[in-house]
Amino acid sequence: MKYSDPYLAGVALGLVLLGSFVFANRGLGASGAFAATATGTVAAVAPAYAEANPYFARYLARPGGPWREWLLVEIAGVAIGGFLSAALARRLTLKVERGRGVAVPARLATAFAGGGIMGAGAVLARGCTSGQALTGGALLSVGSWAFMLSAFAAGYLVAPAIRRSWQ
Amino acid sequence: MSTFLLPLVIGIAFGAALERAGLGDARKLTGQFYLRDLTVFKVMFSAIVTAMLGVFWLSYAGWIAPGALAMPETYLRPQIAGGLVFGAGFALAGLCPGTSCVAAASGRGDGLAVLLGLFAGVLASGMALPRFADFYDSDARGAWTLPSLFHLPPGLVVFAVVIVALAGFAAAERIERRA
């Protein structure tokens, strides 16, 4: 089935964000869920080390601990919502999205590396496209708009170098 | 219960909106960077404008109490640097953190790889944070907003963002027709 009209889907996404603002007094996020998962993992392996690290200590201090983090529950919802929406539209698939000239292992390696770099950027920027660009963008935060503009600027700088891999 | 049910329901709606927009597909998403398919821009800016107008009018009507929403704190230089690093990874991965979860959930292996990479990247950066804590906490500007940056009334900035978005949509349609 065809995807929705992007403006319609965008307005729907905006209403979800607005609903989160009104009913949960906070916006959406994604990278925070990865931070909570990393914190929970580190704390399980080396509790004292996690407590002493300022980044992990912050997530350990949340009510209920890292595994009850609001954004982690929300991201579990994102996966469920994505699955249900794809199932309803008969878009469930088992494949690796890649350019024609790229082998599956190469695409998976690039995806993993890209994810790792994004993770570092999200730590430094205190959020990602969800928590900074969407949420902070709608609230007119200067830091969020600075993040959004620099992220797309870097994307447009890097993309031409790997253009071939998406043809 | 609402500490569990509320984020779960919000997340389901969030994931469904991303999937319906086609943003679980890295090929579609990367079209943004090659000006083939500007869905990312259209979806993001329609969402930002919708939520921004909603917050503005609901605050005006008193449905959102002043101070009910925490304004994200700005750390300008770390956020610009983080944005540059993030954007480079975004172009490589072809998915962002939220959309990688949708990609993985709809059966895409590259989504799962991005997800694992994100976990590794956040884990390694969190472990390394004590080494760059000075930079991480530098250039703190507090709850800084575009209206205070430009010394303009919030209503005027909201109006300007709408105009810029509408001009951007018109440009996006023209670019796509040419591609």
Judge if A54 and A103 occupy the same domain: no
Judge if A84 and A103 occupy the same domain: no
Asked whether the beta carbons of B145 and A137 are under 8 A apart, the reply is no
Candidates A13, A20, A115; nearest CB to B118: A115
Judge if A14 and A90 occupy the same domain: yes
Distance of alpha carbon A28 from alpha carbon A71, whole angstroms: 8
Judge if A3 and A74 occupy the same domain: yes
Split into its structural domains, chain A has a count of 2
Interface membership of A36 toward B (CB under 8 Å) = no
Residue A9 pLDDT greater than 70, yes or no: yes
Judge if B175 and B92 occupy the same domain: no
Judge if B161 and B111 occupy the same domain: no
Distance of alpha carbon B179 from alpha carbon B175, whole angstroms: 6
Judge if A4 and A76 occupy the same domain: yes
Judge if A20 and A67 occupy the same domain: yes
- Crossing angle of helices B39-60/A6-24, nearest 10°? 40
Give the pLDDT confidence score for residue B179 in this predicted structure. Answer: 78
Judge if B24 and B81 occupy the same domain: yes
Distance of alpha carbon A108 from alpha carbon A111, whole angstroms: 5
User: Left if phi > 0, otherwise alpha if psi is -120 to 50, otherwise beta: which for A98?
Assistant: beta
Taking alpha carbons only, the member of B161, B52, B101, B167 closest to residue A14 is B52
Judge if A53 and A113 occupy the same domain: no
Identify the helix (H) or strand (E) that includes residue B75: strand B74-75
Instruction: Give me the residues of A, 65-94, that contact B with CB < 8 A.
Output: 68, 70-71, 73-86, 89, 91-94
Judge if A5 and A66 occupy the same domain: yes
Minimal CA separation from A54 to chain B, in Å = 7
Can you list the residues of chain B whose pLDDT is less than 70? 1
Judge if B86 and B31 occupy the same domain: yes
Residue A1 pLDDT greater than 80, yes or no: no
Best probe of the A interface among B122, B127, B169, by most A CBs < 10 A, is: B122
Partner-chain contact B94 A166, CB within 8 Å? yes
Domain that holds residue A10: 1-94
Interface membership of A16 toward B (CB under 8 Å) = yes
Judge if B28 and B56 occupy the same domain: no
Q: Coil, strand, or helix at residue B156?
A: helix
Cα B149 to Cα A145, B136, B154: the distances in Å are 12, 22, 11
Chain A residue with the nearest C-alpha to that of B158: A140
Distance of alpha carbon A139 from alpha carbon B146, whole angstroms: 9
Give the pLDDT confidence score for residue A167 in this predicted structure. Answer: 84
Q: Using a CB-CB distance cutoff of 8 angstroms, which residues of chain B are in contact with residue A144?
A: 72, 74, 79
Judge if B127 and B84 occupy the same domain: yes
Asked whether the beta carbons of A119 and B118 are under 8 A apart, the reply is yes
Candidates A83, A138, A147; nearest CB to B55: A138
pTM higher than 0.90:
yes
Judge if B49 and B99 occupy the same domain: no
Domain that holds residue B30: 1-37+74-141
Judge if A109 and A89 occupy the same domain: no
Judge if B98 and B174 occupy the same domain: no
Last residue of a domain, one of A72, A94, A116: A94
Chain A residue with the nearest C-alpha to that of B165: A7
Mind listing the pLDDT tens digit for each residue in A10-59? 999 999 999 999 999 999 999 999 999 999 999 999 999 999 999 999 99
Judge if A54 and A114 occupy the same domain: no
Give the pLDDT confidence score for residue B44 in this predicted structure. Answer: 98
- For tokens 């969402």, the residue is B47
Q: Using a CB-CB distance cutoff of 8 angstroms, which residues of chain B are in contact with residue A4?
A: 20-22
Q: Using a CB-CB distance cutoff of 8 angstroms, which residues of chain A are in contact with residue B131?
A: none
Judge if B3 and B52 occupy the same domain: no
What are the two backbone dihedrals, phi and then psi, of residue B32, each rounded to the nearest 5 degrees?
A: -60, -40
Last residue of a domain, one of A33, A67, A94: A94
Judge if B23 and B101 occupy the same domain: yes
Asked whether the beta carbons of A96 and B99 are under 8 A apart, the reply is no
Instruction: Give me the residues of A, 146-165, that contact B with CB < 8 A.
Output: 146-159, 162-163
- For tokens 């917050």, the residue is B55
Judge if A124 and A53 occupy the same domain: no
Judge if B59 and B123 occupy the same domain: no
Candidates B6, B101, B141; nearest CB to A79: B101
Last residue of a domain, one of A42, A66, A94: A94
Give the pLDDT confidence score for residue B1 in this predicted structure. Answer: 55
What are the two backbone dihedrals, phi and then psi, of residue B145, each rounded to the nearest 5 degrees?
A: -120, 160
Split into its structural domains, chain B has a count of 2
Distance of alpha carbon A11 from alpha carbon A119, whole angstroms: 27
Judge if A140 and A60 occupy the same domain: no
Mind listing the pLDDT tens digit for each residue in A105-148? 999 999 999 999 999 999 999 999 999 999 999 999 999 999 99
DSSP structure string for chain A: -PPPPHHHHHHHHHHHHHHHHHHHSS---SHHHHHHHHHHHHHHH-HHHHHHSHHHHHHHTSTT-GGG-HHHHHHHHHHHHHHHHHHHTT----B----TT--HHHHHHHHHHHHHHHHHHHHHHTS-IIIIIIIIHHTTBHHHHHHHHHHHHHHHHHGGGGGGGG-
